[in-house]
Amino acid sequence: MSVRILALVGSLRAGSHNRQLAEAAMKHAPEGVEITLYEGLAEVPFYNEDIDVEGSVPEAAARLRATAAAADALLLFSPEYNGTIPAVLKNAIDWLSRPHGAGALSGKPVAVVGTSYGQYGGVWAQDEARKAAGIAGAAVLTDVKLSIPGSVIRFAETHPADDSEVVEGLTGVIEQLSRAGAAAA
């Protein structure tokens, strides 16, 4: 049985370096680990309790919840927008946190990684993503980190999947997350 990890990318841009990092994770996932990149975060409406009603949850939000619930673990890829987590990623966490105490994130292992243009690689945003996921009920792997600075320069001509240092760090994160996912399954 393979461990299923769902990747959520906090950048909607097609050429996003965080999306490329998720692609690298899928390409270099160890045997027995299946990583799926979630498509469709842009279609999920902003969380609003008035529309989160059993039987009439917006289809895009229901699909996100079902996909996350079927995964053994989640790997969040977060750039840093104005020193914090991107709205699209925070919105996904909000939808996955409900219903309170029984959402798709409840007890699910979650790790957060990412790359950003700044000199610290988006650590503030990643810390905020860990905090939000933990409050939402996830079993956040707080010691599992990978922050890659200088994304615009570092990945100008090299895809993260072809950067041996990035691949080594990413593989370590995936191995730790997959162990936690297997234990939780």
The 10s digit of each residue's pLDDT in 111-129 is 999 999 988 889 999 999 9
The DSSP bridge partners found for residue 178 are none
Query: Span 47-66, mean pLDDT?
Result: 96
**pLDDT reported for residue 185:** 77
Between CA 58 and CA 53 the distance in angstroms is: 9
Quote the number of domains for the chain: 1
Closest CA to 115 of 153, 142, 87: 153
Between CA 21 and CA 38 the distance in angstroms is: 13
Query: Span 48-62, mean pLDDT?
Result: 96
The DSSP bridge partners found for residue 73 are 5
**pLDDT reported for residue 144:** 96
Query: 174 vs 22, 48, 55, 84, CA distance in Å?
Result: 11, 33, 35, 24
pTM to 2 decimal places:
0.97
Query: Which residue range(s) make up the domain with 86?
Result: 3-184
**pLDDT reported for residue 120:** 85
**pLDDT reported for residue 68:** 98
Q: Is 59 helix (H, G, I), strand (E, B) or coil?
A: helix
| pLDDT above 90: residue 57 | yes
Between CA 5 and CA 178 the distance in angstroms is: 7
The CATH number of the domain holding residue 33 is 3.40.50.360
Between CA 19 and CA 116 the distance in angstroms is: 12
